[in-house]
Amino acid sequence: MADFYAINPFGAPIRHFERVSSTMDEARKLAAEGCPHGTVAAADFQESGRGRVRGRLWDAEEGAALLCTTILRFGSISRMPAALTLRAGLAAAEAIEATGGFSHGRIQVKWPNDVLALIPGTLPSLGRKLCGILCESDGEAVYVGTGFNIAQSRFPSDIAGKATSMLIETGDAPRREAVLAAFLERLRSIIADERWKERLEARLFRKDERVVFETGAADSGKLVEGTLAGIGAGGELLIRPDGESNPRAFVNGELKVYG
């Protein structure tokens, strides 16, 4: 284990590991040891990284991605900011845009936990995944897990059409430490920003476009078709179903983007 040479605006340590089961697991260990608010566990490779949906793993080429979990302490669940996963996604999107040289607005947040690079000229909008977010809590701390695709030059065939990296999109790969520092700075700011929803909706994937949304658990088959209207105050997705005048709020489900 060694320190990761990035500036942490939270004023807390950044712990760097070469190989771990997952940065989420390491963060829980650090939290149990009493580490301060804003501590980060980062790794070059994780053997059992996971996504929001059970059974989906987060796999990344060693050293090519920024894999990290940030530990946040709010004192109690009631004091945790609303829509923390979306706020983290917004922080990630702004950090990627700032460090990767992307044009303004091209990096967008796909509800509830992905960051995409838009494919120019597509309508309905299409994008490829640059970053995923997973937030968990044990009552004592909140763990914000993030995986940024930075220097991968290719992806396995089963996800090649869905995933991308900063290197693939721009021809350049910034230092992982630079992306991490930019992310942490924005995360610290967005946690306290009352205008977070306005900032998020400005780069919300498929806002004001027609969408197909699968409600409930993955592969439920329960579909809602309509227009994506925005985000509610608690982070819920607002969709105006076809034939209805008012939007409905959804807290569980997934946008059907890839068919």
Right CATH number for 2-201 from 3.90.100.10, 3.30.930.10, 1.10.1270.20, 3.90.45.10? 3.30.930.10
- The residue among 51, 38, 42 whose CA lies nearest residue 10 is 38
Q: What is the mean pLDDT of residues 159-185?
A: 96
Helix, strand, coil fractions of the chain, as percent rounded to 5: 20, 30, 45
The conformational region for residue 14 under phi > 0 = left, psi -120 to 50 = alpha, else beta, is: beta
Distances in whole angstroms, Cα of residue 96 to Cα of each of 152, 168, 175, 236: 15, 13, 11, 24
What is the predicted pLDDT for the residue at 51? 53
pLDDT in tens, 180-203: 999 999 999 999 999 999 999 999
pLDDT in tens, 73-109: 999 888 999 999 999 999 999 999 999 999 999 999 9
**DSSP-derived 3-state class of residue 155:** coil
Q: Where are the domains of the chain?
A: 2-201, 210-255
Measured distance CA(151)–CA(1) in Å, rounded: 22
What is the predicted pLDDT for the residue at 57? 46
Long-range contacts of 217-226 (CB under 8 A, 24+ apart): 217/252, 218/53, 218/254, 220/253, 223/256, 224/248, 224/250
- Output the pTM of the full model: 0.93
State the virtual CA torsion across 225, 90, 102, 69 in degrees, nearest 10: -120
Per DSSP, what are the bridge partners of residue 210? 227
CB 204 within 8 A of CB 214: no
Q: Which two tokens stand for residue 241?
A: 């179903």
Q: How confident is the model at residue 53 (pLDDT cuts 50, 70, 90)?
A: very low
Q: How confident is the model at residue 12 (pLDDT cuts 50, 70, 90)?
A: very high
Tell me: pLDDT of 123 over 60. Answer: yes
Decide the pairing of beta strands 248-250 and 210-215: unpaired
Q: How confident is the model at residue 60 (pLDDT cuts 50, 70, 90)?
A: low
What is the predicted pLDDT for the residue at 220? 81
Distances in whole angstroms, Cα of residue 173 to Cα of each of 66, 92, 147, 167: 11, 16, 15, 5
pLDDT in tens, 206-249: 999 999 999 987 778 899 999 999 999 999 999 999 999 999 99
Q: How confident is the model at residue 59 (pLDDT cuts 50, 70, 90)?
A: low
Average pLDDT score over the chain: 92
Q: What are the residue ranges of helices labelled H in the chain?
A: 23-32, 84-100, 166-170, 176-191, 196-201
What is the predicted pLDDT for the residue at 56? 45
Radius of gyration of the chain (CA): 18
